[in-house]
Amino acid sequence: MSEFNHAELDLPQQIAALREAVEKLDRQVARAGKEQFKATSLAEAQQQNLKAMLDQVRAGEAARERELTQLRAQADREGDAARLAVIVRLLPVLDGLDEAIAAGESLLAEEESTAALLFGQRLREAWRVVKGESPSVAPPDEHWAAWLRGVEFVRERLLEVLAAEGVQPIEVVGQPFDPNRHHAVEVIAADATLPAGLITQEMRRGYRWGEVVVRYAEVVVAR
């Protein structure tokens, strides 16, 4: 009987001890949860900070790439502008060579019209050669022809330099008039053999740089 009563008296103590153990475990779990929450929050914060830093780095790289692209584009524009300025300054030189060639061809034509004088001069020069003497001077037409060949050579070399830079003359004679490339300085009447809108003569040569018109061609157009 005493043992049974002793067991009954120990049961409440055991229940209390068990309840205290459960409560202690709850507190430990709660603390562990709080620690886990703190650790998770810290990890998330670190991850967000890292993401923000990466975003800043990427944004900086993108900004630098945009800046480099703009600098390259600006350099290309400035280079193109400088090249175009040189090309424009060379065009009057070509005009002068064209005029010199036209003048030289005209002088040669005039000298050929004095055939009798030149023929007599050539006979005298040939007679000097037959006698073993050196020719006095080259006939005038030979001087002009040599000079003309020299001017034509310079013109061809200059055209080759411009062509290497992408500069080409604008086609005119026999072509339909194009206001984007041609400038009409004179018109003539069209007829059955000459359709309206056709270019009949080039007054001043035009040039293009790729698709960019450096100078409009001045032409005569049938209308």
Residues 53-99: tens digit of each pLDDT: 888 878 888 888 888 788 888 877 887 888 888 888 889 988 888 88
> Is 123 in the same domain as 154?
yes
Residue where a domain terminates, one of 117, 143, 165: 165
Instruction: Verify that 200 and 127 share a domain, yes or no.
Output: no
Question: Of 165, 189, 209, which residue sits at a domain end?
Answer: 165
114-128 per-position pLDDT tens digit? 544 455 555 555 545
Q: Total structural domains in the chain? A: 2
Say if residue 157 is in the same domain as residue 140.
yes
Q: 155 and 178, same structural domain? A: no
Q: What share of the chain is helix, strand, coil (3-state, %, to 5)?
A: 70, 15, 15
Global confidence as pTM: 0.56
The tokens describing 199, both together, are 């270019």
Judge if 160 and 172 occupy the same domain. no
**pLDDT computed for residue 220 by the predictor:** 94
Of 165, 180, 211, the one marking the end of a domain is: 165
- Counting residues of the chain whose pLDDT is more than 90, the rounded percentage is 22
Residue 148 near residue 104 (C-beta atoms within 8 A): yes
The tens digit of pLDDT for each residue in 154-173 reads 989 999 999 998 999 998 98
